[in-house]
Amino acid sequence: MPISWGVSETPGWGYQMAPLRVLQEMRSLGMRASEMGPHGYFAQDNVAKVEVEPSPTQESPKPEPTAKPTAESFFTLSDIESIGFKKTEDTTSTWDYEHLLEGWDGEILVNGTSQYFGVLIFGEAVDKFTKEQFTQVGLMVSVRTAVIHNIAIACHAQEVCDYVIEKLR
């Protein structure tokens, strides 16, 4: 997703951020994969460097825990499936979040139409920092996001997120 950072193969596109900075920012948002951008933009040594070195310019803020829900309010994949979610792709390995148990893309039927729906399921309540990261990733890829207790959800249409939230409450 280098284009989300203004990186393009179009001549005269304008200022393009340094590849290492783009990789470090992607990593700080929990992204573990990206397309390569214009030919030669990501040199192999930059990719290897970001895997082993933390960002030299920024220190990640410490996560602030949200209110702890009771164990009864933690959601499972079965809870999500019980409201009509049909999983199509395991995305767990795409994410690099602490306490992430599993991630899924799939579809859910809302108002008679099958709609995209993604879910990340955590082993504890989603903290403020992770929620902010997930929201930023959603903005970059043009999806709506929400967090409920220990799950983070992504939808192409706000009505889908609203439907899921309502069904889970």
3-state helix/strand/coil string of 6-68: CCCCCCCCCCCCCHHHHHHHHHHCCECCCCCCCCCCCCHHHHHHHHHCCCCCCCCCCCCCCCC
Query: For 98-122, what is the mean pLDDT?
Result: 94
**Confidence at residue 28, expressed as pLDDT on a 0 to 100 scale:** 72
pLDDT, position 68: 41
**Whole-structure pTM value:** 0.60
Closest CA to 79 of 157, 149, 159: 149
Domain ranges of the chain: 2-52, 71-168
pLDDT, tens digit (0-9, with 9 covering 90-100), for 56-82: 444 444 444 443 444 456 899 999 999
Which residue did the predictor score with more confidence, 111 or 15? 111
Domain 71-168 has CATH 3.30.200: yes
* Residue with the larger pLDDT of the pair 169 and 164: 164
